[in-house]
Structure 1
Amino acid sequence: MRDEERPLAVVLAGGLARRMGGSDKPLLLLGGRPVLDHVLARLRPQVSGLALNANGDPARFSDFGLPVLPDPLPGWPGPLAGILAALDWAAAAGAGHVLTVPGDTPFLPADLVEQLGRSVADGAAAAFATSAGRRHPIVGLWPVAARDALRHGVADAGMRRVDDWARSLDAVPVEFPIGAVDPFFNVNTPEDLRTAESLLGL
């Protein structure tokens, strides 16, 4: 993919992480590096620019040298607010689409943008990842033109599920194979972190 075709990407790094005792999951150490470092390393070759979506003190992410975008809506409405922050940021940059991924997925595929972008190039409004028949709608390539509809859906209509947003756009599911590890394995619990340690290098 040529540089001018690579989308912007935003890592959703601001979840409440209740199963991790409230810690920032992207900042947990995996193989001696923050989980977020692994996510960014997977993304950087595929995108033209990166930002983080997170609430609270942005200084905790200062080592990464990236813009930190807070939710544009109050009340912790969930990951859709992060996707809206991504769309607003991409719109300000003049981009047509933006990729979003969770900040706790250290094994993202190297061809993520290529595969999702192929569906959009074929005429889909949006595309998101699946693996082993499971939907991962937070891992999606979204049209910036839909940001006002998303803002209305979250702020006025009470939409909270990313899957509902994907369905409203007729987003195309794109299946990714599972090799030694599911590329969308996410670190939700201390047990998941230990599993991820054992999967590093596979």
Structure 2
Amino acid sequence: MLPAADITGMVLAGGRGSRMGGVDKGLQAFLGQPLALHALQRLQPQVGMCMLNANRHLEVYQGFHVPVHADVLPDYAGPLAGFLTGLTHCTTPWLLTVPCDSPRFPRDLAARMAATAVREHAQIVLAAGPEAGRDGALQLRPQPVFALLHRSLLPSLQDFVQQGGRKIDAWTAQHAQALCHFDAAGDDVHAFANANTLQELHLLEDSA
């Protein structure tokens, strides 16, 4: 098994929050505290150390008592900018990223992702979790912002973004990767539900 001490966790809270009206999504309340703090507290017991990626209200995020890093790329360049920021500052062999807007991710996320990395000899592990399709039926789909990344991938990601790349799957396809499956039967059906709007956030809170 991969020891938890070899993994740095990072909460991604650096987006524009466009579908929430431009608010800082990580600071919206979920069960009485900011989304990003809720995600951080859920992640901390699973890994060796944690940090947070944010591009606004850095002084507020610094009050969460973990290192806070703004994107190393300008203009809200998306999740890959968060990956790049995390790998740039990561001092452990592995980086595990989680988004701030999916506050119910599994409490054994890191352990299961790490086990998949070892078993599959993968440099990248992405979570695959239940998600409702257009017909409302649950389907197992990749959740690419839940990513376990080996630190050696930093030069590759730097080259990819310098060439204008912004899509996660286009970059991950270049490396040995694997999916870690979280099914609706054995896991929280809302484990990977993300709150893109305030209404979705309230619904997710009501179902908790």
Does the TM-score normalized on the shorter chain lie above 0.5?
yes
Q: What one-letter code is carried by the residue in structure 1 that aligns with 2:94? A: H
Deviations 1:53-81 (A, max 9, x none): 11134112132111111111223321101
| Structure 1 residue 23: Cα displacement | 0.8
In 2 relative to 1, CA 194–131 (structure 1 residues): closer, same or farther, beyond 3 Å?
A: same
Instruction: List gaps (5 residues or longer) in structure 1.
Output: none
Q: Match for residue 31 of structure 1? A: 31
In structure 2, relative to structure 1, the CA distance for the partners of 1:63 and 1:198 (3 Å cut) is same
Question: Cα–Cα, structure 1 residues 154 and 104, in superposed 2: closer, same or farther, change >3 Å?
Answer: same
Residue 166 in structure 1 maps to residue 172 in structure 2: yes
Residue segments in structure 2 that go unaligned for 5+ positions in a row: 131-139
- Give every structure 1 segment of 4 or more consecutive aligned residues whose post-TM-superposition deviation is greater than 3 Å: 1-6
Q: Larger deviation: 183-192 or 51-60?
A: 51-60
Q: Compared with structure 1, are the counterparts of its residues 128 and 136 closer, same or farther at alpha carbon in structure 2 (3 Å cutoff)?
A: same
The match for 1:175 is: 181
2:87 corresponds to: 87
Assess, with a 3 A threshold, how the Cα gap between structure 1 residues 53 and 182 changes in structure 2: closer, same or farther.
same
Evaluate the alpha carbon distance shift between residue 131 and residue 148 of structure 1 in structure 2; reply closer, same or farther with a 3 A threshold.
same
Superposition deviation, residue 155 in structure 1: 1.5
**Matches of 1:77 and 1:26 in 2, distance apart?**
17
2:142 to 107, 112, 135: 135
Structure 1 segment 35-184 matched on structure 2, within 5 A:
35-90=35-90, 93=91, 95-122=92-119, 123-132=121-130, 133-156=140-163, 158-178=164-184, 179-184=187-192
CA shift at 1:165, angstroms?
2.1
Residue deviations 1:136-163 (CA, integer Å, cap 9, x gap): 111010011110110110122x211112
CA distance in 2, matches of 1:116, 1:185: 18
Residues in 1 aligned to 2:196 and 2:56: alpha-carbon distance in whole angstroms: 20
Change (3 A) 1:5 1:52: closer
CA offset digits 1:30-70 (Å, max 9, x no partner): 12111122212211110111111111341121321111111
Aligned length: 196
Q: What RMSD in Å do the two structures reach over aligned CA positions? A: 1.7
- On the 8 A contact 1:10/1:53 being kept in 2, the answer is yes
Instruction: Give 1:6 shift.
Output: 4.5
Shift of residue 3, structure 1, vs aligned partner: 5.8
What is the distance in 1 between the residues matched to 2:72 and 2:26?
A: 21
1:2, CA displacement in angstroms?
A: 8.0
CA distance in 2, matches of 1:182, 1:34: 18
Q: TM-score, normalised by structure 1?
A: 0.90
Letter in 2 for 1:191: Q
Looking at structure 1, the residues matched to 56 and 28 of structure 2 have their Cα atoms a distance apart, in angstroms, of: 17
**1:62-111 alpha-carbon deviations (Å, 9 max, x no partner):** 32111111111223321101101100111xx2x11110111111101011
Mean CA deviation greater in 5-14 or 135-144: 5-14
1:131–1:182: 8 Å Cα contact kept in structure 2?
A: no
- Kept after mapping to 2: 8 A contact 1:97/1:142: yes
CA distance in 1, matches of 2:100, 2:142: 17
Cα deviation code 1:105-138 (max 9, x no counterpart): 1101011111110121121111010113211111
TM-score (norm 2): 0.88
Q: CA deviation at 1:166?
A: 2.1
